[in-house]
């Protein structure tokens, strides 16, 4: 609607309304309130992201709530400032042309924010794995457990910001008993849950006869994910 209204005012400009007080007061109060909300969102976002870069925290995090609020507040604040400038210019020039330009800018801004928000949340909607850092840590914890020869496959899926499923194929030494396998499995689960409490469900499948050449989803041999080493 903002785009339609803006195009209409640009193609068919009219005389600007006489009074400037009402729109300036409304927009000014809105900017103050939205600015306060934006500052709170920035504070919470910085607390959530920790030492991560801003871009990574915005687009690669697994909890979209704070980033979404931050983007919405930023867009709303920018749109209000644009609207205030457009109203002022329209009043000075006596034409709604500038107001129409402002409406078009706001419409494009809303479209852009919509695309960004869709990108931000689509992963969790259609299914997204844990972060590479969490995957590397889970691999290292499992492989360092006594009785584990290797982890040949690792799969994960986030059910929510603080809940994830982890599935592992583990190669155990030959000749051990079922009881020993169960004990090793319990140890692996305990080690992973201690460091990664959001791994709510951990499934471990024994894998004795594993052919790495036939599995495109194999766990990397160097305890790395996407070529990144675990050693830090």
Question: Residues 74-130: pLDDT tens digits?
Answer: 989 999 999 889 888 888 887 778 888 888 888 898 888 888 888 777 766 666 788
Tokens 């900017």 locate to: 31
Structure tokens at 100: 């129409």
Contact 132, 226 (CB under 8 A): yes
Window from 18-27, 79-88, 215-224 with minimum mean pLDDT: 215-224
Confidence of residue 13 (pLDDT cuts 50, 70, 90): confident
The two structure tokens encoding residue 171:
């190669």
Planar angle of CA 212, 207, 215, nearest 5 degrees: 25
The predicted structure's pLDDT at residue 160: 75
Q: Rounded to whole angstroms, how far apart are CA atoms 215 and 58?
A: 33
Report the topology of domain 132-214.
Alpha-Beta Plaits (3.30.70)
Residues 6+ apart with CB under 8 A from 105: 6, 82, 86
Domain boundaries, the chain: 2-126, 132-214
For residue 60, the Cα-to-chain-centroid distance in whole angstroms is: 5
Rounded to an integer, what distance in angstroms lies between the CA atom of residue 206 and that of residue 185? 9
């Amino acid at each position: 609607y903002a785009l339609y209204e803006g195009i209409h005012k640009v193609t068919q400009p009219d005389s600007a309304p006489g009074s400037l007080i009402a729109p300036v007061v409304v927009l000014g109060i809105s900017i103050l309130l939205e600015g306060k909300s934006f500052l709170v969102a920035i504070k919470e976002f910085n607390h959530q992201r920790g030492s991560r870069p801003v871009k990574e925290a915005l687009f690669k995090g697994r909890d979209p709530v704070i980033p979404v609020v931050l983007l919405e507040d930023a867009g709303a604040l920018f749109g209000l400032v644009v609207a205030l400038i457009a109203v002022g210019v329209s009043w000075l020039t006596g034409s709604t042309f500038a107001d129409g330009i402002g409406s078009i800018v706001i419409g494009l801004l809303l479209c852009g924010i919509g695309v960004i928000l869709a990108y931000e949340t689509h992963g969790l909607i259609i299914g997204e794995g844990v972060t590479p850092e969490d995957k590397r840590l889970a691999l290292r914890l499992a492989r360092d457990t006594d009785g584990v020869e290797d982890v040949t496959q690792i799969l994960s899926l986030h059910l929510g910001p603080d809940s994830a499923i982890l599935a592992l194929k583990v190669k155990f030494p030959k000749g051990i008993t079922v009881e020993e396998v169960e004990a090793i499995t319990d140890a692996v689960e305990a080690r992973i849950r201690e460091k990664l409490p959001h791994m709510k469900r951990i499934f471990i499948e024994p894998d004795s006869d594993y052919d790495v050449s036939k599995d495109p989803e194999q766990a990397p041999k160097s305890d790395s994910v996407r070529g990144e080493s675990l050693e830090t």
